[in-house]
Structure 1
Amino acid sequence: MTTSAFAPVFVSSEAARAVFVWEDAIRALQTAYARPIPPKSTPPRTVAVAGKTWLRTLPAVPVGSRYYGAKVMGMAMGSSTPGVEYVIVLFDQETSRIAAFIDGNLVTGFRTAATSAAALDRLAPARAARLAVLGSGLEAAMHTRAIAAVRELTEVFVFSPTPERRAAFAEAVTRDLGVPARGVASAQEAVEASDFVLAAARSRDEQPILFGDWLKPGATVVSIGSTIPEQREIDVSVVARSDIIVCDMLDEVLEETGDMLAAHKAGIAFNDKSFSLANLMTGALDEHLKDARTRMYKSVGGGLQDIVVAELILKKAIEAGLATALPMEFETKR
């Protein structure tokens, strides 16, 4: 079967990894969030659940972009081989047709870390810094590399419960980034001397892993591990200590994450110091930032991030000859 000019392509995670560049993704996200964002262009995520099966959808129509679409992920936890698969479907605004299917597993990690780095680049002072990493998984690794793309890191401290994992993480950071890195025996030890603090490993028993009195004056916190009401990552004291809180999905962060629900229950007022990522990128928060000592970016992830990074990867994969043409064409209803 031959493919037509309207046949979609597939971009694998392997191809995405081959063409992805942190700096390009960070700039693309900063540009996307600086543009006007119509309220209905990036709606909240939706989740369909029946028994042990769930399906989540994150749609977006980025302003000024050629492509729009949605990320879809699901898992049947009662199956014999449960696991989550992600697919990003991109539509072409020029033709109104389906243009691509992109494996979204790796893209999800890329877009989360790139968005955090895009926010930190605008939140934190423009100087060399020490980074504390709480966690040693894929998200922690990606965030460390993304942050290194926007700031010179003088040293990285990593804590995770398993000594072997934090040692391997530190070794990889030094090897890949040329930055001195070492594992430490406690989260507090990692945090107390650091200018940036990345919380990327919510605790298994849903108890906070980061406390406000550990933070040095002027620290910037990036928190990505609590995305639903049942999850906890940072203590309410971190919310209280933060002078400004920037959220990628403002309502979802404030109303649907366990950390902020706990802060609300504790009587901590945070609405007046919480702002959208778009506010940060347009410069609307510049005056607030002048007076802010402790700053926090808190993320749940959003469809705009998925589509912006997926479009960048699609274009690069096509240019590099790494997009696989699919032998299919969808029927168009007119």
Structure 2
Amino acid sequence: MIIVPEREIADLMTREAAFEAVERVFAAMAAGEAYNFPVVREAIGHEDALYGFKGGFDRSGLTLGLKAGGYWPHNLAKRGVINHQSTVVLFDADTGRVHAMVGGNLLTALRTAAASAVSIRYLAREDARVLGMIGAGHQAAFQLRAALEQRRFEKVIGWNLNPEMLPNLEKVAEEAGVPFEAVELGGMREADVIISITSSFEAILGADQVSPGTHVACMGTDTKGKQEVAPGLLARAVVFTDEVAQSVSIGEAQHAVAMGLIGEGDVQQLGAVINGAHPGRRSAEEITLFDGTGVGLQDLAVASRVVELAQEAGRAVMVDF
């Protein structure tokens, strides 16, 4: 068995490699070559933690496995470790034997950022110049770095429930040579692209706070009850997602579907745009929304790639299991 420890991931996995891995697996999903297994995600009744399993199988790449982990909201304050904790296990698709175990913490942040970046690449207007960020936690910096590479953004605006965290975004923007401005939620009307990356269970962004032509990437809702934007925004938008079943059950679309504002058939796979089966954005005035629920195949794709990179670099740990 190959082990790629968490400490090795930062030196091995690049944003470009993560983008390519996620883009490929989204396309494979839309083509029917890859599928996710049902998600198990539960509140465990200890430390306010959410814990679960995501897995799947990609026939095109023969990638089989699962990610186990979740969200421990008190980790950073109480223990000095990040709140999201996970590990990916890959299996040999031909034999079922365990193939690799990979640290999943940084990979989760990279694949989540890559997913929103893929949505921006394929759905945002080419002339998008102002990037809006809602949320300034651990994963927000990854989101911002990946997003800034997709268009020629000239300004970043940001909002966070706790404004004292906004310098986390300002630092990333300044490193990229882009000015940053803190705004109230109404200021998001200036944005051409908006990324929400929070753990909210109540709508933050209202439908009237998004201008025509905006692309919105909702990246924080991955559990029943979570919510980042008003359901009316999905009714105004053309909605895309990583996987439709997850979108309407545990993703941002769950609320709009429950209210009857949209139906399951109104949610499209982003992979269909990548494959050319869906035109994607059809006008400069259209609002597009990507409901990034976080599918297991994303984790398997980036984990499989980092295993390859570790082997190429001679940094994979071999264990007789």
For Structure 1 versus Structure 2, the TM-score category normalised by the shorter chain is 0.7 to 0.9
Distance in 1 (alpha carbons) for counterparts of 2:253 and 2:262: 10
Unaligned runs of at least 5 residues, structure 2: none
Partner of 1:332 in structure 2?
Answer: none
Contact 1:240 1:270 in 2 (8 A): no
Q: Distance in 2 between matches of 1:44 and 1:99?
A: 22
1:161 matched to 2:156? The reply is no
How many residue pairs were aligned?
313
SS in 2 for 1:26: helix
Paired with 1:307 and 1:130, the residues of 2 have a C-alpha distance of 32
Identity of aligned residues (%): 24
* Cα gap change, 1:49 to 1:171, in 2 (>3 Å): closer
Please say if 1:67 is aligned against 2:59.
Answer: no
Q: Hey, what does 2:277 align to over in structure 1? A: 284
User: Which residue number in structure 2 is paired with residue 183 of structure 1?
Assistant: 182
Give the direction of change, closer, same or farther, for the CA distance of 1:76–1:148 in structure 2 (3 Å limit).
closer
**Equivalences for 1:98-113 in 2 at 5 Å?**
98-113=98-113
Q: Secondary structure at the match of 2:91?
A: strand
Across the aligned residues of Structure 1 and Structure 2, the Cα RMSD in angstroms comes to 2.9
Separation in 2, partners of 1:84, 1:172: 21
* Structure 1: tracts of 5 or more residues without a match: 1-7, 330-334
Deviations 1:290-330 (A, max 9, x none): 2470000001111110011111111112222322233x32x
Aligned equivalent of 2:190: 193
Find the structure with the greater CA-based Rg: 1
Alignment partners' CA distance in 2, 1:254 and 1:28: 24
Q: Deviations over 1:11-52 (max 9, x none)?
A: 122211112211222122222222365487322212467654
Who is 1:118 aligned against?
A: 118
Distance (Å, rounded) in 2 between the aligned partners of 1:137 and 1:313: 25
Alignment partner, residue 214 of structure 1: 209
Once the two structures are TM-superposed, the CA of residue 121 in structure 1 deviates from its matched residue by 1.0
- Whether contact under 8 Å (1:119, 1:280) holds in the other structure is no
> Please, what TM-score do these two structures have when normalized by structure 1?
0.83
Q: Structure 2 counterpart of 1:200, which letter?
A: I
SS at 2:9's partner residue?
Answer: helix
CA distance in 1, matches of 2:84, 2:196: 23
* Separation of aligned partners in 2, 1:62 and 1:139: 26
Change (3 A) 1:314 1:127: farther
Instruction: Provide closer, same or farther for how the CA distance between residues 84 and 299 of structure 1 changes in structure 2, counting only shifts above 3 A.
Output: closer
Q: Measure, in 1, the Cα distance between the counterparts of 2:317 and 2:226.
A: 38
CA–CA distance in structure 2, aligned partners of residues 121 and 179 of structure 1: 19
Is the 8 Å Cα contact of residues 119 and 277 (structure 1) preserved in structure 2?
yes
CA distance in 2, matches of 1:54, 1:296: 26
SS of 1:245's partner is strand
